[in-house]
C-alpha cells in the first residue's frame, strides 16, 4: 500500500468538518450525557444501553429520557433566534411507535453513570416551560423538532442540569420509542445534538481537550477551512465535549449520509466507500472512531450543502480526491 492507515485516518475526517464564518451562526451542541430512567427497573442505571427509551406501559409504567448538551456558557437567551433538537432512531433495537413528546429543563443535574428512576424520583423537572415534538414510528428514522421556547425560556437550567423528555400523555395506552443514545452502535444511527441559531456578530470556536482548552477566533470575512485536515489549515482535534460554531442556520429533513446525498444511494462512489468502511475502517479502533464521527456529523453537513451549492462543489472535490487516495492505496 502506498498510504499508511495513519495517513488515511488524517484524511477521512476532512470530508466532514468544515467551518464558515458569517455574522449569524449556528452552534452545534453535542450530547455530553444521556440515559433513560425506567419504573420497570427503578433501581437500575441504564447507561450501558445504546438507546434512550421513552414509553408508557399499563403494567410496567413509565420510562423517560435525560439529555445534557454542551451549550456554550457565553450564549445569552436574548440572542438565540432558533433551537432545534436532532435525533436518530435506534436501528438495532426494533421499531417503536409514532409518539408525541414533551421536553423540560431539569431542576438538578443528573449522573448518566449512576442515576436511576428511584434516585431521581422519576426526574425533577421544571413544568413551567416546555417544547413538544414528534418521533416517527419504526427504527430507521432521523428527525428534528423545534425547542426554541424551552431553550430561550430556561437556558440556565439546561446548561447546568440538562433536559428531560417524556411522552406527552403517559397513559392510558401503551406507547414507546427508542432513540439512539450517544453510545450508539449502528452506523445508521447518530447521537443526539442541539442546534442553536445565535445572532452574535462575531464568535469563536472552542475546543475542550484533556490537557488544555484552546480558542480559535473566527475570521472576519467569509472563508472555508478544514477543522481536521492534512492541508496547511489549522488542525484541531475535537472530543465529545467540543462545541463547533458554523454559519448555517437552515433546517430541514436530516439525511444521514453525506456521500449518498452528493452521488446517489447506489452510485459507484458510495459502493466503493462502503467497501472501504467495512473492509478497512471497521478493523481498527481508530477506524471505528472515524466511522462514528462521520455518521454523527453527516446530517449536519447535508443540511449545509442543501443550501450552498459552492460548498457542495467543494465537498465533492474533496471526496473525489479521497477516492483517488483509496484507489492508490489498493496498489
Q: Provide, for the chain, the percentages of residues in helix, strand and coil under a 3-state DSSP scheme, each rounded to the nearest 5.
A: 30, 30, 40
- What pLDDT score was predicted for residue 296? 67
The residue extents of the domains of the chain are 5-21+219-233+248-329, 26-197
Distance CA 143, CA 131 (A): 15
Position 8 scores a pLDDT of 40
Q: What is the pLDDT of residue 189?
A: 84
Beta pairing, strands 51-57 & 61-69: antiparallel
Q: What is the pLDDT of residue 229?
A: 26
pLDDT digits (tens, 9 = 90+) for 41-83: 999 999 999 999 999 999 999 999 999 999 999 889 998 988 9
Query: Which among 269, 107, 91, 268 has a CA at the least distance from the CA of 177?
Result: 91
Distance CA(202)–CA(128), nearest Å, equals 33
Cβ atoms within 10 Å of 309's Cβ, excluding its own: 9
Check: CB of residue 146 under 8 Å from CB of residue 134.
Answer: no
DSSP assignment of 65-129 equals EEEEE---TT--GGGEEEEEEEEEB-GGG--B--EEEEEEEESS---TTT--TTTTTT--EEEEE
Please state, as a whole number, how many other Cβ atoms lie within 10 Å of the Cβ of residue 238.
19
CA distances from 316 to 4, 102, 194, 269 (A): 23, 39, 26, 11
- For the stretch 139-170, pLDDT in tens is 999 899 999 999 999 999 999 999 999 999 99
CA distances from 149 to 123, 169, 237, 262, 277 (A): 21, 20, 33, 34, 40
Q: Pick the closest to residue 85 from 242, 243, 305, 254 (CA basis).
A: 254
Q: pLDDT (tens digit, 0 to 9) for every residue of the chain, 331 residues total?
A: 333 333 344 344 444 433 333 344 667 888 999 999 999 999 999 999 999 999 999 999 999 999 999 999 988 999 898 899 999 999 988 889 999 999 999 999 999 999 999 999 999 999 999 999 999 999 999 899 999 999 999 999 999 999 999 999 999 999 999 999 999 888 778 889 998 887 754 333 333 333 333 333 332 222 222 222 222 222 233 333 333 333 332 333 334 578 888 888 888 888 888 888 878 887 777 777 777 677 767 777 787 788 788 888 888 898 888 888 777 665 5
Q: Is 259 helix (H, G, I), strand (E, B) or coil?
A: helix
Picking from 184, 231, 211, the residue whose alpha carbon sits closest to that of residue 47 is: 184
> Tell me, what's the pLDDT at 329?
61
Confidence (pLDDT) at 174: 97
Amino acid at each position: 500500500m502506498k498510504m499508511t492507515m495513519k495517513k488515511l485516518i488524517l484524511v477521512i475526517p476532512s470530508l466532514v468538518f468544515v467551518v464558515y464564518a458569517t455574522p449569524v451562526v449556528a452552534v452545534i451542541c453535542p450530547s455530553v450525557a444521556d440515559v433513560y430512567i425506567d419504573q420497570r427497573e427503578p433501581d437500575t442505571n441504564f447507561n450501558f444501553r445504546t438507546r434512550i427509551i421513552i414509553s408508557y406501559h399499563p403494567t410496567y409504567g413509565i420510562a423517560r429520557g435525560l439529555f445534557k448538551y454542551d451549550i456554550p456558557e457565553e450564549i445569552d437567551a436574548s440572542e438565540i433566534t432558533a433551537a432545534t433538537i436532532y435525533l436518530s432512531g435506534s436501528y438495532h433495537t426494533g421499531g417503536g411507535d409514532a409518539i408525541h413528546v414533551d421536553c423540560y429543563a431539569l431542576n438538578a443535574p443528573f449522573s448518566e453513570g449512576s442515576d436511576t428512576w428511584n434516585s431521581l424520583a422519576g426526574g425533577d423537572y421544571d413544568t413551567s416551560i416546555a417544547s413538544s415534538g414528534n418521533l416517527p414510528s419504526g427504527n430507521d428514522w432521523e428527525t428534528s423538532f423545534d425547542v426554541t421556547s424551552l431553550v430561550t425560556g430556561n437556558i440556565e437550567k439546561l446548561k447546568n442540569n440538562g433536559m428531560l423528555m417524556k411522552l406527552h400523555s403517559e397513559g392510558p395506552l401503551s406507547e414507546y420509542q427508542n432513540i439512539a443514545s450517544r453510545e450508539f452502535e449502528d452506523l445508521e444511527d447518530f447521537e443526539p445534538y442541539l442546534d442553536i441559531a445565535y445572532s452574535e456578530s462575531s464568535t469563536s470556536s472552542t475546543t475542550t481537550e484533556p490537557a488544555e482548552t484552546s480558542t480559535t477566533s473566527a475570521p472576519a470575512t467569509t472563508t472555508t477551512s478544514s477543522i481536521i485536515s492534512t492541508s496547511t489549515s489549522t488542525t484541531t482535534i475535537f472530543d465529545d465535549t467540543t462545541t463547533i460554531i458554523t454559519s448555517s442556520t437552515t433546517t430541514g429533513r436530516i439525511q444521514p449520509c453525506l456521500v449518498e446525498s452528493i452521488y446517489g444511494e447506489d452510485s459507484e462512489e458510495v459502493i466503493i466507500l462502503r467497501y472501504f468502511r467495512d473492509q478497512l475502517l471497521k478493523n481498527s479502533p481508530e477506524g471505528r472512531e472515524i466511522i462514528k464521527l462521520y455518521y454523527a456529523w453527516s446530517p449536519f453537513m447535508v443540511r449545509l450543502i442543501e443550501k450552498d451549492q459552492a460548498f457542495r462543489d467543494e465537498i465533492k472535490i474533496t471526496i473525489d480526491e479521497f477516492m483517488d487516495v483509496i484507489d492508490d492505496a489498493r496498489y
